[in-house]
Chains A and B, each alone.
Chain A
Amino acid sequence: MDSFLLQILNGLDKGSAYALIALGLTLIFGTLGVVNFAHGALFMIGAFCAVTLNKLLTLSFETVDETKTDFLGNPLKVETPYVEAWFGPEFGGALIDWSVPLAILLAIPVMVGIGFVMERGLIKHFYKRPHADQILVTFGLAIVLQEIIKYYFGANPIQTPEPSALRGSIDIGTMIGFEANRIIYPIWRLVYFFFAMVIIAGVFGFLQFTTFGMVVRAGMADRETVGLLGINIDRRFTIMFGIAAAVAGLAGVMYGPLNPPNYHMGMDFLVLSFVVVVVGGMGSLPGAVLAGFMLGILESFASTTWATTTIPGINQIIIYLVAIIVLLTRPRGLMGRKGVMEE
């Protein structure tokens, strides 16, 4: 029972990342009809926003400490971050400590900006081109983006710790009547889950309750009609692209403390998030969220010892197996509208 609950938690947590990436992906597909292979790269860039902010805050000046020596036997150069010198070690230290959540503030404008530039500068010219061309050009872009990141940050993963107040784990089990040490879960993973829920709720609320969202939803359903009403749907779609990029970026920012960011993390998630989108139904926002959580949970259960001893290797192939089964039995996905890219 307790291990069951633990894997549900793990699934929700994995699912949060899948759902956020897939949400943006399906939003772009639903509004613009574009298959964006660079979406994983946007997630990665988000994570590197956190890395960059951390690097900026820890920019340091050097003072020589004569009492100690470095590895070559020379006097050790001690580095003091400017922020600590300017704002005092206490506030400066706190700024550095909280750099990941603070990076959200940096990531939103950066990601929206990247989204705008991408849409206006590149994607726009591909609306009428075949899906294969869209895939290829965005795939090329993904390679370029990740190589740029690699050039500046290296190939090695970069530790981006969560604020120390949110480090460690809490014993959820004792709260709901289990023995101690049965259900222990990291605080930041819970934070990530709630953060994801807030973002998802925000996107849905935005689309549901604002006029802007209504126009976009109408545009997703029938672009031409909305265009005929004299509404500049293109500009709104550009903004939607920015929002989708921001969602992927925010998913990345907060993901850093879970697993240290590296330049290829976007590619690692790319195939998976496409599976999520397809299983949920191309262009269906609730479908993407549902499928994200569902696949996260399935993946978690497939990795239990029980599952791997029953079917060896199931943890390696579960995602693809689900994708194949869903596509063959219900091609429009779990919640896709009938007729959208069906057959």
Chain B
Amino acid sequence: MLGLNRKDTTLLIVVFLLTMLAPFLLNPFPADSAMAQFNAGYPDLMQRFVIFGIFAVGFNILFGLTGYLSFGHAAFLGVGSYAAVWMFKLFTFNVVPAIAAAVVVAGLFSVLIGYVSLRRSGIYFSILTLAFAQMSFALAYSVLSNPKFNLTNGETGLQVYADDPQIFAVAGSPNLPHLFGLSMRSTYTMDVGAWSFDFNAGYYLCAVIMLVVFYLSVRLFRSPFGMMLRAIKSNQQRLNYTGLNSRPYTLAAFVISGMYAGLAGGLLAAMDPLAGAERMQWTASGEVVLMTILGGAGTLIGPVLGAGFIKYFENIFSKINDNVLHSWFAFLPDGMEDFMVTIIHPFVGKGWHLTLGLLFMLVVIFLPGGLVEGGQRIARLFKRNTTQTPGNDPEHHPKPSPHVAE
């Protein structure tokens, strides 16, 4: 189906179901229960899951396939956001031109940075991208926000003001980002017994876009182009002596992943019309590296999982304060309750960074292939005796079956 083999089609269908049913899946606990703290099915977080999923999927095209570790990808995300907000300011709140502009501008920007950075490889490439991104951040945060030439609005972030021109704004359309009149913020809440589920227009727009770009990335992984990129990671020298020029391949991969990042940035702005410079900081670039590796670099679904995992942590664990802890352990005797709270306290709420750091270390040490590898190991445990595992990663190394008509 859709030019994919059976396995990829299954994967795509699974991802489709997961994203479409996310409002149910992410809200498994009744709204009033103590466990509701762990519900993640509210619009903002669901949007972030898919948007950062897009970001990580794009990053994976560069890092997972070619092995080039960019430490500056957040710059493209930030540029995309700025481009989108400028479209809102100058033309209209309709998200279509904004998202298109985000992709195009980020693409151009990545051509520029990629062309220079890809003259080097290995850690030098990483440092070059890092340097470019940090420069972009410094410029956006202060230099380009001076009153004479205010391109980014600096610390406060670029946003839409009432006196902005918006020359193509249609009368009667919402004064917020919208898709031909459908506000990105319209949400329908469905209460089923004790449960409550939110269906948000913005989320579904992001989800549909993610499905499209995820599908494209599957196609890319399975294409000759994707094969060449994996060959670059495996043995660049052999590739050159096989008559292929690795530079345009890496540049193309860099630009594609830059456009994915720009798309993510554009969507972020479309969901929430504000673009801040912190989005471009090197720690933000580090975050997408972490997402990709945590999920499983070079696998199809890994980056999406990694993105979801980290965003879940950032938004859910950071909100668990002592009050919440006490309410969880209220059933215990007083001394025990305080003891449990003291034990858990350093790892949640304001200590969520600590838990995240520990998790990274554990995953990198014990699961070099990321969460996907973890999943495979568990799966293998269950069918150890039934099937022979060839010992390689089926995500990464598809078995071509050219004689089977699809």
Task: Indicate yes or no for A touching B, C-beta below 8 A.
Answer: yes
A residues whose Cβ falls under 8 Å from a Cβ of B: 35, 122, 125, 129, 131-133, 135-137, 139-144, 147-148, 151, 271, 274-275, 278, 282, 312-313, 316-317, 319-321, 323-324, 327-328, 331, 341, 343
CA distance A291 to B297 in the complex (A): 34
Given contacts A143-B357, A144-B357, A317-B139, contact A129 B282 (CB under 8 A): no
Distance to closest chain B CB from A283 (angstroms): 11
Name the B residues within 8 Å of A320 (CB-CB). Answer: 131-132, 134-135, 138
Asked if B170 is at the interface of the complex by the 8 Å CB criterion, the answer is: no
Name the A residues within 8 Å of B63 (CB-CB). Answer: 132
Given contacts A131-B69, A324-B116, contact A341 B132 (CB under 8 A): no
- The answer to whether A137 and B364 touch across the interface, beta carbons within 8 angstroms, is yes
Name the B residues within 8 Å of A122 (CB-CB). Answer: 361, 365
- The answer to whether A132 and B69 touch across the interface, beta carbons within 8 angstroms, is yes
Name the B residues within 8 Å of A148 (CB-CB). Answer: 354
- The answer to whether B132 and A131 touch across the interface, beta carbons within 8 angstroms, is no
Known: A313-B143, A323-B127. 9 other contacts (CB 8 A): A140-B359, A144-B354, A278-B124, A278-B127, A282-B123, A313-B138, A313-B142, A317-B135, A327-B120
Stretch at the interface among B102-110, B286-294, B327-335: B286-294
Distance to closest chain A CB from B42 (angstroms): 27
- The answer to whether B360 and A328 touch across the interface, beta carbons within 8 angstroms, is no
CA distance A275 to B282 in the complex (A): 13
Question: Contact partner of A133 among B124, B346, B351, B364, CB < 8 A?
Answer: B364
Question: Contact partner of A140 among B120, B142, B364, CB < 8 A?
Answer: B364
Name the A residues within 8 Å of B358 (CB-CB). Answer: 140, 144
- The answer to whether A328 and B119 touch across the interface, beta carbons within 8 angstroms, is yes
- The answer to whether B354 and A151 touch across the interface, beta carbons within 8 angstroms, is yes
Q: List 18 contacting pairs A-B, 8 Å CB cutoff, sorted by A.
A: A131-B122, A133-B364, A133-B368, A136-B289, A136-B293, A141-B361, A143-B360, A147-B357, A313-B143, A316-B138, A316-B139, A317-B135, A320-B134, A323-B128, A327-B124, A328-B116, A328-B128, A343-B120
Question: Contact partner of B354 among A147, A275, A321, CB < 8 A?
Answer: A147
Name the B residues within 8 Å of A137 (CB-CB). Answer: 360-361, 364-365
Asked if B356 is at the interface of the complex by the 8 Å CB criterion, the answer is: yes
- The answer to whether B132 and A324 touch across the interface, beta carbons within 8 angstroms, is yes
Name the B residues within 8 Å of A328 (CB-CB). Answer: 116, 119-120, 128
Name the A residues within 8 Å of B142 (CB-CB). Answer: 313, 316
State the 7 A-B residue pairs at the shortest beta-carbon distance, nearest first. Answer: A143-B357, A140-B360, A313-B143, A320-B131, A316-B138, A147-B354, A140-B361
